Amino acid sequence: NAGVTQTPKFRILKIGQSMTLQCAQDMNHNYMYWYRQDPGMGLKLIYYSVGAGITDKGEVPNGYNVSRSTTEDFPLRLELAAPSQTSVYFCASSYSYLTGGGDPSGGTDTQYFGPGTRLTVL
């Protein structure tokens, strides 16, 4: 299994440009997530998806869009890039239930992270 993969690893954008960050997982996970992490700060949830065709906003969704047409892929779209979007972006996936506790034997709720995309907007 490749786990969670992300492309590109690095990207420099000019203000106003757009781009798509790609994320794919091969673990048949239902949940997928996009986080951003600014230097010295914690993870902030941008968007998440509980399954193909279903997405929802996280803590910091403004300036981003997502889609989930398949279980495996969860691309993040940046429209009209701004310097405030300079950050490291992590994609993650998990097998989760909406409610209820995790199954210790099944690793439920454990999030697995991709290697990240370092984005600079100048």
Partner 1 sequence: QKEVEQNSGPLSVPEGAIASLNCTYSDRGSQSFFWYRQYSGKSPELIMSIYSNGDKEDGRFTAQLNKASQYVSLLIRDSQPSDSATYLCAVKTPRSQGNLIFGKGTKLSVKP
Tokens 């969860």, residue located: 74
Interacting residues with partner 1 (CB under 8 A): 31, 33, 41-43, 45, 48, 50, 56, 58, 90, 94, 96-104, 107-116
Rounded least distance, CB 3 to partner 1, Å: 10
Instruction: Identify which of residues 7 and 17 has a Cβ nearer to partner 1 in the complex.
Output: 7
Rounded least distance, CB 51 to partner 1, Å: 11
Backbone φ and ψ for 102, nearest 5 degrees, come out as -75, 160
Q: Return the sign of the alpha-carbon dihedral for residues 48, 31, 73, 90.
A: positive
Strand-pair category, 10-13 with 54-57: unpaired
Rounded least distance, CB 56 to partner 1, Å: 7
